[in-house]
Chain A
Amino acid sequence: MIQFEQVCKRYPGGHQALNNLSFHMPHGDMRFLTGHSGAGKSTLLKLIMVMERANSGQVLVDGRNVSKLPARHIPELRRKVGVVFQNHQLLFDRSVFDNVALPLVIAGYGHRDIGRRVRAALDKVGLLDKERQNPITLSGGEQQRVGIARAVVNKPKLLLADEPTGNLDPQLSAEIMHLFEQFNQVGVTVLIATHDLSLIARMPYKLLSLRQGQLVSAGGSHE
């Protein structure tokens, strides 16, 4: 699903975010991306979303080299990838329902389809009763769940999360992680960037550990 081949990313100003990084993540896999802040976790996710482009090497997403993807094809790629952000990126000028519906509206679904899918996604994250509220009235954990609902509403094959539990207490974090596991169980490839090692220590998934832009381990979290 995701394949990096000798990827280098250097930001203007000289910071080397990724250095000759190679790894392969098969379909249906769930992995954690760990490392200190500045180790290149966010950069890696941004390369997959084509929010940044590699200076050299190849980034393949679902068999497609996205490092050279023309700008007009980027929206198409992003519709296939669900992303959960640490700061949620919700819009506070509209209801929970409309926030979750956004990817569907953009993709061109009809009213009826949108209603059905949005409710299914909200039901999945346990927020069906909050669909008419403004996300600003929700708690941090609930906001994150709205973000997750929005990420999965389009039934993406790939789900990325950047520090999804960054601001949450352990109890809520565990719940969020459990949600990700559920999506993985239905076949979604899940890649979660986190520095919360205590949270993932008990979970049986492989780690991608970055240090200074290089892979230091690709083993299981229990190793």
Chain B
Amino acid sequence: MSKSKQKGSGASKLPKRRLGQLQTPAKPSRRELSGAKTHRTRFSDQWQSYRSHHRQVASESLRRLLKRPLATLMTTLVISIAMVLPAGLYVGLNNVEAVSQGWDGAARLSVFLKFSVSDQDAQKLRQQLADRKDIASAEYISPSEALEEFRRRSGFGDVLDQLDSNPLPGVLVLSPTADNSSPEKIEALRDQLNALPQADLVKLDMEWLQRLNRITDISRRLTLALAAMLAAGVLLIVGNTIKLAIENRRDEILVVKLVGGTNAFVRRPFLYMGFWYGLFGGLLAWLLLASSLLWLSGPVKELAGLYNSSFSLLGLGVLDSLIMWASAAGLGLLGALLVVGRELRAIEPK
């Protein structure tokens, strides 16, 4: 390292570093490359110094934000809250879908038997049905088993004890084979079952599932709409913050413009600022969401256990997390872009 370079970096270690301060090179325009006589460098050098300039501007913007941690945290927090809402809804919906997915393929038919049907007859019928090609499995729940299960799960045991007789019918629970699970085939099967003399009522456990799917669809759209609105909010927050930052550095911008700073040069630190705000907001939102999910996962597991399910809460996957961070950073950058041009045009040396 040459002596001059050492001294140069020494000089740049002064406490405050600002826009255009001993950071190398803004990207020279093509015109300069061809036209400037005072300064002619190889393109690879230009490209290298352009990149190192970007690195320096990026880290300088970052340092600037970290120097005012409280103000930065506030802005970041606002951004992250705006992001956590739609992201949380998205995760919630994913979970609802994951839960219902298990049921989707295996629609079940419950055949409620008449009270006159005995356990033996029911078992015979079960065997007959289980032998059918379009039925994968058939299970018989006798009235007493049903009562026992109801007592166990509902918590109405005391009430049930006061009843003279068992009010519950026997039920055959049928799962159609995968090939025969389409809504039309299941309906056809239901009609056949309804025609059985032993059957009192055939209930298709699919209607509520369809309703649930519609509700999930609607919720998904609502989430998108909410996300769009909150994204606009993030743009405004970042935009306004950048606007203030520009106003604070007005003198500096004027001088830079006077000595020939291009708009791109002046704009760059503010764009990086927006980028950092967005990224931090995204990271914080992710942390908030991940910790909320962690906090919820215990109770959800217990609840699932009560339903004899091994379901556990789905978090944000790697891809989702990356998308979340990238879109947050992108929003920050966009928010900065939206104000920077207009604000900087207004600051012209007079």
Binding site for B on A (CB under 8 A): 49, 51-52, 72-73, 75-80, 83, 89-91, 93-95, 97-98, 101-103, 105-112, 114-116, 119, 131-132, 134, 150, 154-155
Contact = CB atoms under 8 A, between A and B. Distances in A.
Contact of B11 (A52, A95, A109, A110): A95
Contacts of A76: 29, 31-32, 260
B17 A105 contact: no
A97 B263 CA distance: 23
B349 A51 contact: yes
B342 interface: no
A116 B7 CA distance: 10
Interface string B1-34: 0101101111110101110111111111101100
A194 B63 CA distance: 43
A101 B17 CA distance: 13
A80 B32 CA distance: 11
Contact of A108 (B22, B27, B252): B27
B196 interface: no
Given A98-B11, A115-B5, A119-B4, A91 B252 contact: yes
Interface in B296-323: none
Contacts of B252: 91, 93
B21 A105 contact: yes
A91 B22 CA distance: 13
A101 B252 CA distance: 14
B129 to A, nearest CB: 81
Contact of A110 (B20, B49, B265): B49
B35 to A, nearest CB: 8
29 contacts: A51-B348, A76-B31, A76-B32, A77-B260, A78-B259, A79-B259, A79-B260, A89-B255, A91-B255, A94-B17, A98-B12, A98-B21, A102-B20, A103-B260, A105-B21, A105-B22, A105-B25, A106-B260, A106-B261, A107-B25, A107-B39, A108-B24, A108-B49, A110-B25, A115-B4, A131-B11, A132-B11, A132-B14, A150-B259
Interface string B283-302: 00000000000000000000
A93 B60 CA distance: 14
Nearest to B251: A91
Using C-beta atoms within 8 Å of the partner chain, give the interface range for chain B.
Answer: 35 or more
B28 to A, nearest CB: 4
A78 B16 CA distance: 26
B258 A109 contact: no
Contacts, number: 136
A98 B350 contact: no
Given A95-B11, A114-B8, 20 more contacts: A51-B349, A73-B31, A75-B262, A75-B263, A76-B31, A83-B259, A89-B255, A94-B17, A95-B14, A98-B14, A101-B22, A105-B24, A106-B265, A107-B28, A108-B39, A108-B46, A110-B45, A111-B9, A111-B24, A115-B7
Nearest to B350: A51
A129 to B, nearest CB: 12
Contacts of B41: 110
A111 B8 contact: yes
Contact of A78 (B27, B28, B260): B260
Contacts of A116: 4
Nearest to A83: B258
Nearest to B259: A103
Secondary structure type dominating chain A contacts = helix
B330 to A, nearest CB: 26
Contacts of B21: 94, 98, 101-102, 105
A93 B18 contact: yes
A52 B349 CA distance: 9
Interface in B47-100: 49-50, 53
B116 interface: no
Contact of B24 (A97, A98, A114, A134): A114
Contacts of B32: 76, 107-108
Contacts of B25: 105, 107-110
B256 interface: yes
Contacts of A132: 10-11, 14
Contact of B259 (A95, A102, A119): A102
Nearest 3 pairs between A and B by C-beta?
A108-B25, A79-B260, A115-B8
Contacts of B12: 97-98
B162 interface: no
A108 B26 contact: yes
Interface string B222-266: 000000000000000000000000000001101111111111010
A77 B259 CA distance: 9
A150 B260 CA distance: 12
A157 to B, nearest CB: 9
A83 B12 CA distance: 24
Contacts of A95: 11, 14
